[in-house]
Structure formats: structure tokens, C-alpha cells
Chain A
Amino acid sequence: MTVYLSLAGVLFLIGLHGFFTARNLLRRLLALNVLTTAVFLLFVVMARLAEPLDAVPHAIVLTGIVVTVSTTAVALALLVRIAGRMRDEDTDPAAGPRGGAG
């Protein structure tokens, strides 16, 4: 169990480091996901440590995964829009809105 506990700790640190150092927006989002995974791992270890086996942390992690999938989807949607806007500005600022002239 110590292995898993320390793994959760290491994952948390990796995520935290990535979050604060990455310049790439997608990398920051992934670092955040690593961070969340570390917390989920901690919950699962808690469940295993309990005597008898505790089901509540499992329910929590399942719900947490659903929440993380949703937040990641929203973040990705926002990211795609930001990236699209930056690409437009990079290539030709005078070109006007996309699909404007047929």
C-alpha cells in the first residue's frame, strides 16, 4: 500500500509541476488531469486500507471521473476556439471572418 500511496504523491507533484511550468495550453490541461488522477488514486487506497473494504470511495471516484470527463470536455471545447482564433489572427488579420467571401 505504501507503494500506491507514494505513487499518488509522486503523481500529484508531477501534475503540480506540469501545471505551473507548461506553456502549452493542452499540456496544462493534461497536467491538471494527472493531478486529479493522483487524488482518485488516494481515494482508492483509502478504500483498500479500510477494514472491511469500503465502497464509498469507489462511488466517489466513479462520480469524480464523470465530473473530470465533463470539465475536460469543456476545457477542450474552449481550447479549440482559442486556438482557432489565434490561427486566424496569425495567418491574415485582414482576411475577415472565416467563410465570409465565397
Chain B
Amino acid sequence: MIPGTAGPVVLFSLPLAAAIVVFIRPRWSVPVTLGTGAVLLAVALWLVGVVLQQGGWRQDIGGWTAPLGIGWNVDGLSATMLLLNAAVGLAGAAFHAARPAPPATARDPRFFWPLWLFLWGGLNALFLAADLFNVYVALEFVSIASVGLIGLVGGSAQAAAWRYLLATLLGSTIYLLGVALLYGRYAALDLALLAEGVEPDLVTAVAAALMTLGLLLKAAIFPLHFWLPAAHGRAPPAVSAVLSAVVIAAGYYLLVRLWFGPFAPLLGTGVATLLGLLGAAAVLWGGLLALMQRHLKMLIAYSTVSQFGYGLLVFPLVAAGAAHPAWAGAVMLVLAHGLAKAALFLAAGAIILRHGIGRLEALGGDQRGAVVAWVAFAVASASLVGLPPTGGFVGKWWLAQAALASGGYFWLAVLMLGTAFTAAYLWRALQAAVEPGWESGGEPPTLSPALGLGALLLALSAAALGLAAPLIARLLDAGPGVSG
């Protein structure tokens, strides 16, 4: 037995067990969730250490082997995503626990914590899943929990939740159709088994196209991003943080798993360029719209559309032969984006609580009670823009190296232009802090210092990610990883 195998079991079953406990005993919600989160973070860290030492592995739950059993796959990529999920989940939970009691518009506050924990467990299952059908089940699990968390706010958030639900269910159904075609062709669902046997024929190409379409819809890649801004902008801050940082990344994670796993023989220059162009359009269009937003949270939500465009640049760069730096750079960017974006949403949540309103021009003036949040916002912005030595810088640097090495000057230009957009819209947000703003006159509401602190810790870890770059490069080399 491999020493790490207990880790995934805890990562999957602990949040689900905790969800049931807090559903039955709502009074215990906060301590149980925070305790669970601390354990999950520790286990994810330990798992990363184990993968660093001995490489990835595959395990079958309860000794039941595929196809009827459920297999899990642990490697550098899944371990880093599990760690990201644990960090964002814990910070988000701390934020939600520390915020002042919400107004009575929230209809079912007691359902928040069980859904939160279900989402956590579902995401962990997704990052561990080793076959295509388990991925489908985990995707639906994540969708249901996310929709519930958005809809709990009530009011116009319910309409946003409904649109998100339809988009995400359509995405999973199209994905499942692709899985059915693949199963009919190869009689296998296991990612590793498929990776050995896939041939570039018509059925496989149609299946790959369908699955990619479904996942693009879930990852809100341009032009399928229409549902994201409303859903992420209207959700509570902690929910926006985990949706933007981890749930969207999960869709992207699956795209990478599929195209660098079973579908690698299909990844010709044409397909790769198409995906890269979608990414480039997302970077520019999302950046432009973020620049035009007047509400702080909507600005951050459009920024997510823009930032995941960078992730798609990995496909043309790998197809052009620069596999290693492009691949590591894209994963680094997704990680750094996850930490920084969660920090931005939590900081924005604290700032909006302080000012009582989210319009950019209203956020200036007296900043007592929101200083820590603004500092977190600034540090996270630095990483998102890509100032050295942050994680965002290292990710962009690796991508730029890959573009230079493979002669992809167009992709390099997209990278630069996107960075300029990112700097511009984040600067607009930060500028709002020092302008006069709308003075309400009264004393600012007293907020728990924990609100800004969680955001600051996330932002600092996004920045520190740059210093851990050699470690992450080694982690991504460990395990089965990618055949460029």
C-alpha cells in the first residue's frame, strides 16, 4: 500500500460527513466547518509533499477495480488543485463566519454551510476522478451546490442562479453525449486506458468536440461566458471567491486533462490554434468589459473571464513544441489566479460591507475599517497583473518563454495586451480608494478584522507562490503529467 492513499479518502469523505453534521446541527456550523477546513488544508499540504517525494499514483476505492469500482488519480496537477481548493475554501469559510449578520433578505441562511461543504467535497472528488463518468457525476455535484449557494441570496441572484443552472446543465449533458460516443467506440472510460488506445478518427473527433464544448461552457470561456458575471457578481463574497477561483478552474482542469491525456493525438495545429484564439478573444473581451464596469464585484467577475483566456494559450504553445514552459506556466497562472481572485472577492466583500455599496465612485473617502482589505486588494492585484516576484509573474514569464521559444509572437502580444488591460482595470478599482467618495457622515460599521485578514493571507500566498516556483515546476514534472 502506498503511504499517501489515506489522503484522498479524507479529502473526499470528511467534507461530506461534515455537511451532514451541520445540516442536522446548524448551531455547530462555524466550528465544524472551520475545523474541517483546517484538516483539509493540512491533508492537501501533506499530499503535495507525498507527491513531491514519490510521484503520483492511482488507487481504487475499497479495492473495487474499474469499470464498476471508482478509481482515483493523484498527481502533481491534481494535488496542486486540491491545495488551491482547501486554501480558498478555508479563507472563504472564515470570511463568511466573520461577516456581520446579513439582512433578512437571505431566506435560508442555515442551508449555507451544508452546501458550502458539499461544494468542497464535490470539487475534491472532481480533482481526484480518474474516469470520465465520475467526472460527470462530480461536475453535477458541483453545479447543484454552486447554484444553491448563489440562489440562497434571494432577489435577483435567483435569476442569475437559474441562468447558471441551465448553462451548466446543458454543458454537462453535451459532455455526457461525448462520453457516450467515446464509450461506444472504445468500451473504456478510464482516462489512462483511453490515453493508450485513442485513434484520431471521426467518432473520437466528434466526442472530443462535444466534451470540449460542454467544458468550455462550464469554464465560461469566451463566447460562452454570458452566464458568469451575473452569477459571480451577485453571489455572497465567499461564494464568488470559490466559484471564480476553483469552480471555473475545475472546468479548465478537465480541458487540460483531456487534451493532454486521451485527446493528445487529436491536438493538431488547427484545433490548438482555435482554442488559443478563443483564449485570446476571452483575454481581450473580458478585459475590455472589466474596464467598463461600474460595480466593484462585476469588475472582478469580468476579470475572471479575461484571466482564464490565458489558460487556453497553453494549447497552441504546446502544439508548437514548447511543452514544458507553456504547461507549467498555464498551471501556475491558474493557481496564482485562484488565490489572487479569491483574495480580490473577499477584499471586495469587506470593502462593500464597510461602505454599504459597491459602486466604484462610492468607495473613496474615509477608509477606517477597510485598510487591511484594500492592502489585500493591492497585493492580489500585483499578482494578477504579474509584478515580480508574484505567482502571476512567474506564470506569465513561463508562458512568454514558451511563446518566444516556439516563435508564437502573436500569443506573446496577447499576453502583453492582456496584462495592460489587467493593470488598467485593477488600477481603476484601486484609484477609487483614494478619491473623495460618497460620505455617509455616520460612524463606519464595526467589522471583524478577520474579514480583511483572510483576503490578505490569500493575497500574500498568491505573491509567495512566485518564490515557490522551482517547487511547483518539480511538482508538475512529478507523476504521469503531460506528454507534450
Contacts and interface: CB of A to CB of B under 8 A. Distances in A.
B144 interface: yes
A12 B165 contact: no
B144 A70 contact: yes
Q: In the complex, which range does the number of interface residues on chain B fall in?
A: 20 to 34
Contact of B162 (A19, A46, A71, A79): A79
B158 A78 contact: yes
Given A50-B187, A54-B187, A60-B133, A67 B162 contact: no
Interface in B163-184: 165-166, 169-170, 173, 176-177, 180-181, 183-184
B151 interface: yes
Contacts, number: 78
Interface string A48-90: 0110001011011001100100110011001101100100000
A95 to B, nearest CB: 16
B183 A19 contact: no
Contacts of B176: 36, 39, 64
B137 A63 contact: yes
A80 to B, nearest CB: 10
Chain A's interface: helix, strand, loop or mixed, by majority? helix
Interface string B88-127: 0000000000000000000100000000000000000000
A74 B147 contact: yes
B170 A19 contact: yes
Given A32-B170, A39-B180, A46-B180, A75 B68 contact: no
A29 B107 CA distance: 24
Given A50-B187, A74-B147, A59 B170 contact: no
A25 interface: yes
Contact of B137 (A25, A67, A74, A82): A67
Contact of B180 (A42, A78, A79): A42
B154 to A, nearest CB: 8
Contacts of A25: 162
Nearest to B107: A81
B173 A74 contact: no
A6 to B, nearest CB: 15
A26 B194 CA distance: 38
A64 B189 CA distance: 15
Contacts of B151: 78, 81
Contacts of B161: 78
Contacts of A38: 177
A96 B226 CA distance: 33
25 contacts: A19-B166, A19-B170, A28-B166, A29-B166, A32-B166, A35-B173, A36-B176, A38-B177, A42-B177, A42-B180, A42-B184, A46-B180, A54-B187, A56-B183, A60-B183, A67-B136, A71-B140, A71-B143, A78-B147, A78-B158, A78-B161, A78-B165, A81-B107, A81-B154, A81-B158
Interface of B: 67-68, 107, 133, 136-137, 140, 143-144, 147-148, 151, 154-155, 158-159, 161-162, 165-166, 169-170, 173, 176-177, 180-181, 183-184, 187, 189
